[in-house]
Chain A
Amino acid sequence: MNIFRLTGDLTHLMSIIVLLLKIHTIKSCAGISLKTQELYALVFATRYLDIFTTYISLYNTVMKLIFLGTSFSIVWYMRRHKTVRLSYDKNNDTFRHYFLVLPCFLLALVLNNRFTVREVLWTFSLYLEAVAIIPQLVLLQRSKNVDNLTGNYVFFLGAYRGFYLINWIYRYFTENHYRRWITWMAGIVQTALYVDFFYYYFKSWKNNEKLKLPA
């Protein structure tokens, strides 16, 4: 474990806490894409298949349980909770997320480290996580003004994989035989998708104005 990866994990956890706070306290999911939340639940479900078979550390297991639990409860809140579901912006959250699932699965079948069920699903979860934010970014551009909590949620979500990129560079130079081409490619694509969001996020923060993404 290094400081970059720990910061990345905590930033990821922060993004989920910001989202849960928004949904749980003000009972609203306005501006949040259910499609992206469903994709994240699928990402964790296919990535943490070995949660009960491979023990790495208490931290690792606890964090996996937190990510699984929070991602599924967010989907539940947005689909089932009597008040929260009313604020779901169904008309603008229309990105066909299965258009992302299928290509990621096909790519995982072709481009993986080992052709086993678990490895293909794990690789699928990496590819899917890289593009899972797209429905959310599309929704942000469609919803006129972005509230602070949603903006902060997307910011922390983008920052976490950015810290992972630094972690991979650090591990590449400090651990011999640390080669993760597939992980690195997916991580670079994932972070690159946030670049324009980061630009507008910092610009709005510098000019102290409301965050608005150009359509």
Chain B
Amino acid sequence: GRSHEGKDEL
């Protein structure tokens, strides 16, 4: 998915 300011990680 698109990285939401790096929030695509758990």
Q: Check: A9 CB closer than 8 A to any chain B CB.
A: yes
Q: Is B6 within 8 A of A180, CB to CB?
A: yes
A63 and B10 in contact, given A56-B1, A57-B1 (Cβ under 8 angstroms): yes
Q: Is A164 within 8 A of B9, CB to CB?
A: yes
What interface size band does chain B fall in?
Answer: 10 to 19
Q: Which residues of B contact A12 (CB under 8 A)?
A: 10
Q: Is B4 within 8 A of A183, CB to CB?
A: no
- A-B residue pairs, 5 tightest by C-beta: A56-B1, A57-B1, A180-B6, A56-B8, A63-B10
Q: Is A56 within 8 A of B7, CB to CB?
A: yes
**Interface, chain B (partner A; CB < 8 A):** 1-10
What would 17 A/B residue contacts be, using CB atoms closer than 8 Å? A5-B9, A9-B10, A12-B10, A50-B7, A54-B4, A56-B2, A56-B8, A57-B1, A57-B8, A60-B1, A60-B8, A60-B10, A113-B5, A164-B9, A167-B9, A180-B6, A183-B9
A16 to B5, CA, bound (A): 27
Looking across the interface, which residue of chain B has its beta carbon closest to that of A114? Answer: B5
Give the most central of B5, B6, B8, B10: most A CB within 10 Å: B10
A164 to B8, CA, bound (A): 13
Give the most central of B4, B6, B9: most A CB within 10 Å: B9
Q: Is B10 within 8 A of A122, CB to CB?
A: no
Q: Shortest distance in angstroms between B4's beta carbon and chain A's nearest beta carbon? A: 6
Q: Shortest distance in angstroms between B1's beta carbon and chain A's nearest beta carbon? A: 4
Q: Which residues of B contact A164 (CB under 8 A)?
A: 9
